[in-house]
Amino acid sequence: MKGMIRKCAICGEYTLSEETCPHCGGNLKNPHPARFSPDDKYSKFRLALKLKNKEESQRT
């Protein structure tokens, strides 16, 4: 696999730069977020709930 292609979050240009967009200097994002799904927005909530339950179980 060669360099990871990135997509600018601002102008939408694809680039192989690993830092910022060479076109507009915007932040780059991975155009293929294979490991993320829309359900992942709940993962923080699930983790928080898990930690909360853990704290409560330690208290008792």
- By CB under 5 A, name the binding residues for Zn ion: 8, 10-11, 13, 21, 23-24, 26
- Of 27 and 53, the one with the shorter C-beta distance to Zn ion is 27
Give the residue with the Cβ less far from Zn ion, 14 or 42.
Answer: 14
In whole angstroms, give the CA distance from residue 54 to residue 47.
Answer: 10
Pick the closer one to Zn ion by CB: 33 or 38. Answer: 33
Q: Least distance from C-beta 17 to Zn ion, angstroms?
A: 10
